[in-house]
Copies of this chain bind each other. A is one copy, B any other.
Amino acid sequence: MATTTWILSPSPASFKGREMPIEKFRIRCSSVSLNTRSEPQPVTTFVKAFAPATVANLGPGFDFLGCAVDGLGDIVSVRVDPQVHPGEVHISDITGHAPNKLSKNPLWNCAGIAAIEVMKMLAIRSVGLSLSLQKGLPLGSGLGSSAASAAAAAVAVNEMFGKRLGVDELVLASLKSEEKVSGYHADNVAPSIMGGFVLIRSYEPLELIELKFPEEKELYFVLVSPEFEAPTKKMRAALPGEIGMAHHVWNCSQAGALVASVLQGDVVGLGKALSSDKIVEPRRAPLIPGMEAVKRAALEAGAFGCTISGAGPTAVAVIDDELTGHAIAKHMIHAFLHHGNLQASAKVLQLDRLGARRIHD
């Protein structure tokens, strides 16, 4: 079986998640939980969880497809803390990338919001938690930084209380965080939690399709991040309001080809589909200095395909061997410098097939 479908039969509250004000959602969510669940106890006093970076959009998969990449991500530790008011979360410290740019107020922190949501779903009201966030991911890079923080926090809190919530609930909890930071989109949080490639089929109800990339196949992502700030909101404003039928049909067919390539393990086909977006990439690429030249450089260096990761500014190329991946990375870095006047750094990473998980050290 090549794919698995996750369907959530939502609680009355989450059914309307998108239109409902956050506070209203929370109140309802708590009341549902209180009425139907007994409060679980912590199974341990300390949990550390890792959640991987993600590449969303993948060209024609705009706003509904994403995948997780291995070896890069955020770490959240949670600790039972008698100093913290029961049922609440305290953020004790933030380390790693740009710690001063992130709020320690849990209601304004991606990890904090997701942790609180999971506690509400579990109806935790007699234990307080202290949370520590290690940002392995830079902010605003197009690699799902906020999603990784939320996913790691959601998984950590769920592990703390005996893993009572399923994947779909963890995605919903993390979505509350994404909603506040960058919009109600699951194409980063779902793959960060589930690993691999995930297609977001619908939000009401939330329905996720896991697209299994064959185990025996090699797939490398060349991720090149320039020193440039591409705010998600600005990139979203660049999108066309209306799309002509010919472009719509083209992108739809490429989205279908992308899904087929993933399930088949056809990296060449995947690259070709990744590169084929005629709707979003042409609007966004010119906003990232050098991006068009970077894509050309990647393809000339042998990449099977290249596009913008998420809302940018990271460029993502795909290839089936690591050495070529590093050569492609050099050409892409060079192109960012010479055509965009931007310093850039690169990583060559494999698909993360596990998703967010507890780690021990």
Contacts and interface: CB of A to CB of B under 8 A. Distances in A.
Given A243-B242, A255-B256, A259-B259, A249 B3 contact: no
Interface of A: 1-3, 5, 60-65, 199-202, 209, 211, 239-245, 248-249, 251-261, 263-266, 269, 279
A199 B256 CA distance: 8
A266 B5 contact: yes
Contacts of A249: 62-64
A199 B65 CA distance: 19
Contact of A251 (B244, B248, B254, B261): B248
B199 A279 contact: no
A201 B254 CA distance: 7
A263 to B, nearest CB: 5
Contacts of A239: 245
Contact of A244 (B2, B199, B241): B241
Contacts of A263: 2-3, 260, 263-264
Given A263-B3, A269-B5, A199 B248 contact: no
Contact of A257 (B209, B243, B244): B209
B248 A61 contact: no
A260 B200 contact: no
A47 to B, nearest CB: 33
- The A interface, classified by DSSP as helix, strand, loop or mixed, is mixed
5 contacts: A2-B264, A61-B252, A253-B255, A263-B263, A263-B264
Contacts of A245: 239-243
A260 B64 contact: no
A266 B201 CA distance: 14
Contacts of A61: 252, 256
Contacts of A248: 243, 248, 251, 279
Contacts of A209: 256-257, 260, 269
Nearest to A200: B253
A248 to B, nearest CB: 5
A201 B3 contact: no
A252 B65 CA distance: 10
Contacts of A62: 249, 252
A307 to B, nearest CB: 15
Contacts of A265: 1
A261 B256 CA distance: 11
A3 B64 contact: no
A243 B260 CA distance: 25
A257 to B, nearest CB: 5
B3 A266 contact: yes
Contacts of A258: 256
Nearest to A60: B252
Given A5-B269, A65-B253, 18 more contacts: A2-B2, A2-B264, A3-B261, A5-B266, A60-B252, A61-B252, A62-B252, A63-B253, A64-B253, A199-B256, A201-B257, A202-B253, A209-B269, A241-B244, A241-B245, A242-B242, A256-B259, A263-B264
A67 to B, nearest CB: 13
Nearest first, the 4 closest Cβ-Cβ pairs linking A and B are A64-B253, A242-B242, A256-B259, A3-B264
A256 to B, nearest CB: 4
Contacts of A255: 252-253, 255-256
A264 to B, nearest CB: 4
